[in-house]
Amino acid sequence: MNYKIIRFQEHGDPRGQLVALEENKEIPFKIKRVYFMYDTLKDVVRGHHAHKSLEQILFCVHGSCKIHLDDGTETAEVMLDKPYEGLYIANNLWREMYDFSEDAVLLVLASELYDESDYIRDYDDFLKFIGKKK
Ligand code: T46
pLDDT at 53: 98
The DSSP output letter for 13 is B
**If residue 95 lies in a helix (H) or strand (E), which one and from where to where?**
strand 94-98
pTM for the whole structure: 0.96
108 Cβ closer than 6 Å to some ligand 1 atom: yes
52 Cβ closer than 6 Å to some ligand 1 atom: no
pLDDT at 27: 86
What is the secondary structure of 29-56 as a DSSP string? Answer: S---EEEEE-SPPTT--EEEEEESS--E
**Mean pLDDT per 10-residue run, the chain (134 residues)?**
96 96 86 98 96 98 98 98 97 98 98 98 97 87
pLDDT at 24: 80
68 Cβ closer than 6 Å to some ligand 1 atom: no
Of 3, 48, 49, 59, the one to substitute when testing ligand 1's pocket (max ligand atoms within 8 A of C-beta) is: 49
